[in-house]
């Protein structure tokens, strides 16, 4: 057990890290953040901000020397840095989990290997004629989507394909790097499970959330998800199976496809808190960030219970009318059920996550439908005020 006032290390300085820093500071810990951005949201609050590259060996050595445990707020850390920290420091989650989650090829192979269902897929490897994609295994149908194995997120690094004949051009468009070709599924909805697991193998899952995307970026999450108890139970059991197979320590998010035929397929893993778990800040008995702290420090996991139905909407830089001019927040702040969260980012860019709003349900609400309508209405008002098409 790692007790305050110990110093904790954090790889990455984004908004997920900012909330982890807040949770740690409130509990009496110090936090050192490694991130090359001098204005990083987490670095603004940290006890110390090491403003250096993630593979800066001197910075990694400082973290290892001064931090009782080191965790991550994003997975795309250089593999050599991950391996060095895994050998010289207490890194939670460990190198295997971070490596699996930062490479879609490794992730698909891992999930196949433990018998967890995913959409039909094929590797498309750099330097190999994409037309030579193996036809072995389960049939791969079209339409499909080609995704870069690394560094693709929020819809980036992806090209939709109507037929096999377009694969060569799509691979070239993505730079000819290692990719995954994945069959599109007949989708009913997307859901996610955020789960904490500690070093003793104990786990605690948050309620299943339902996610709606716009242009490849998460737009709105509603909790509880509109799935039956059987599907929700299977999703939690699959997330626990994945966490156990990785000997995971920390918070793990698992995104799922629910098909029109009732299949449950894993889409992606995130070895850290997740955008779809922001609702836990206001509508649960513990937040995903406080739970991350408890998991990596071995403090004992808290019960993760929903206190009210809730809906969350992302606030992207598209809502900022002009650089340096923020939205008019009065409509949000006048609503007593709304909770505004801004991340402290000075520069707003289209597609950049600048904050989010949670709207809490009312006593007696049977589900998150009313909260989702309210939060989407608040978002539409902001979009119209910024001159954006809310459709």
Structure confidence by residue, pLDDT tens digits, 302-349: 999 999 999 999 999 999 987 667 899 999 999 999 999 999 998 999
What is the spatial distance between Cα 152 and Cα 167, in angstroms, rounded to a whole number? 18
For residue range 267-296, list pLDDT tens digits in order: 999 999 999 999 999 999 999 999 999 999
Which residues contact residue 17 at a Cβ distance below 8 angstroms, ignoring those fewer than 6 apart? 10, 33, 35, 40, 41, 42, 73
Which domains are delineated in the chain? 7-91 (3.40.50.20), 120-183 (3.30.1490.20), 187-385 (3.30.470.20)
pTM: 0.94
Evaluate if residue 35 carries a pLDDT over 90: yes
Q: Closest Cα to residue 355, out of 49, 74, 41, 51?
A: 41
Nearest to 309 by CA among 327, 287, 284, 334: 284
Query: 135 falls in which pLDDT band (50, 70, 90)?
Result: very low
Predicted local distance difference test score (pLDDT) of residue 137? 46
Q: Is the pLDDT of residue 144 over 50?
A: yes
Three-state DSSP class for residue 137: coil
Please calculate the CA angle 46-48-54 and round it to the nearest 5 degrees: 95
pLDDT the model gives residue 141: 83
Q: How far is CA 170 from CA 103, 136, 163, 389, in A?
A: 19, 21, 11, 29
pLDDT tens, position by position, 91-133? 999 999 999 999 999 999 999 999 999 999 999 888 676 666 6
More confident residue, 159 or 190: 190
User: Given a cut of 90, is residue 389 above it in pLDDT?
Assistant: no
């Amino acid at each position: 057990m790692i007790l305050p006032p110990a110093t904790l290390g954090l790889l990455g300085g984004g908004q997920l890290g900012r909330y982890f820093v807040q949770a740690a500071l409130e509990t009496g810990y110090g936090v050192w953040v490694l991130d090359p951005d001098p204005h990083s949201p987490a670095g603004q609050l940290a006890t110390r901000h090491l403003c250096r590259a993630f593979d800066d060996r001197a910075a990694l050595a400082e973290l290892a020397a001064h931090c009782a445990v080191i965790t991550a707020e994003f997975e795309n850390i250089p593999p050599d840095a991950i391996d060095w920290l895994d050998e010289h420091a207490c890194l939670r989650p460990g190198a295997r989990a971070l490596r699996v989650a930062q490479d879609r090829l490794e992730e698909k192979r891992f999930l196949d290997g433990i018998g967890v269902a995913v959409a039909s897929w094929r590797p498309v490897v750099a330097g190999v004629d994409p037309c030579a994609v193996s036809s072995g295994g389960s049939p791969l149908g079209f339409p499909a989507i080609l995704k870069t194995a690394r560094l693709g997120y929020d819809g980036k690094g992806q090209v939709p394909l109507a037929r096999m004949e377009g694969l060569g051009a799509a691979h070239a468009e993505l730079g000819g790097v290692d990719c995954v070709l994945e069959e599109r599924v007949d989708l009913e909805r997307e859901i996610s499970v955020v789960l904490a697991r500690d070093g003793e193998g104990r786990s605690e899952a948050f309620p299943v959330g339902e996610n709606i995307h716009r242009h490849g970026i998460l737009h709105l999450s509603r909790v509880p998800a509109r799935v039956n108890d059987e599907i929700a139970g299977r999703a939690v059991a699959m997330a626990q199976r994945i966490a156990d197979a990785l000997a995971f320590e920390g918070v793990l998010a698992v995104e799922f496809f629910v098909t029109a035929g009732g299949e449950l397929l894993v889409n992606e893993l995130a070895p850290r808190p997740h955008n779809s778990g922001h609702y836990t800040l206001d509508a649960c008995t513990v937040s995903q960030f406080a739970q991350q702290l408890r998991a990596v420090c071995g403090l004992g996991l808290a019960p993760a219970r929903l206190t009210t139905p809730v809906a969350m909407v992302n606030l992207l830089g598209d809502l900022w009318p002009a650089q340096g001019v923020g939205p008019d927040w009065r409509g949000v702040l006048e609503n007593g059920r709304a909770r505004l969260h801004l991340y402290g980012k000075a520069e707003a860019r289209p597609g950049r996550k600048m904050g989010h709003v949670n709207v809490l349900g009312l006593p007696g609400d049977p589900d998150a439908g009313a909260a989702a309508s309210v939060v989407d209405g608040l978002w539409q008002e902001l979009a119209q005020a910024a001159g954006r098409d809310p459709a």
